[in-house]
Amino acid sequence: MENKKWYLMGLREGLPIGLGYFAVGFTLGIAAREAGITAFQMGLMSFLMHASAGQFAVITVIAGQSGYVAMILTQLVINIRYLLMSAALSQKINHDTSMPKRLLLSYFVTDEIFGISASVKGELNPFYNYGAATLASPGWIIGTVLGVLVGNILPPSLVSALSVALYGMFLAVVIPASHESKAVAVVVIASMAASLVFDLIPLLSGISGGTKIIILTIVIAAAAAIIRPVKEEAASAETAEGGKEAQ
């Protein structure tokens, strides 16, 4: 019963993510069609990757007729952040979680699903992620496929409006956590300020988006861990509280 409750909780919170993924995926599908990618190829790519920025990069590389090496390096730089996210989530799940469950959990790690998972108080049940992915993953895949099939018939103004949906999802994940914790709010503000600095300074502005995310994540997360570490007593209390909420 506990797994069912966690799954339903994830299902509920994965609904807005799935809707946002559908809108953003639609825009991505339009770009894929212009690059000569078929609906089947786009659907397969979305099913295997679940990575918006990575897939945008792949489409750009394909459109520019670059080689496989460029594509591999681009994906390594942009998507390596998921390694950091998976490592963080591995610390929130029970140590007795089986390897198949861990692999399935890692398969569905995206920026938004990681965001809602990281905000769960206490220990994380993998079924929460499975529930969120049940709606989020099909939303992304179907959106990209439909974007290839019928995206070009939509007016440009509507396509442009759909492309901002993902930013609204990020705000929905960050704002509640920032409201509950001053430390989280400071980290969010520091991240925004550092990202702005990277864009304004000529020497740093040339760094790719994926590399910038990796640098900022490591530096800011490390600084926050050193300055404001999570005490063992607080972590234990959150774990107990999270277990009670699931029950």
pLDDT averaged per 10 residues, the chain (length 247): 89 90 86 87 92 82 77 79 86 89 90 86 90 93 91 71 63 75 84 85 72 74 77 49 48
Q: What is the rounded CA–CA span in Å between residue 183 and residue 202?
A: 30
**Confidence at residue 25, expressed as pLDDT on a 0 to 100 scale:** 87
CA distance 32 to 51: 14
Half-sphere exposure of 162 (CA within 13 A, CB side): 21
pTM, to two decimals: 0.68
Cα–Cα distance, 132 to 135 (Å, whole number): 6
pLDDT value of position 235: 46
Angle at 42 between CA 39 and CA 141, to 5 degrees: 100
| pLDDT value, residue 5 | 92
Element spanning 1, H or E: none
What pLDDT is attached to residue 7? Answer: 94
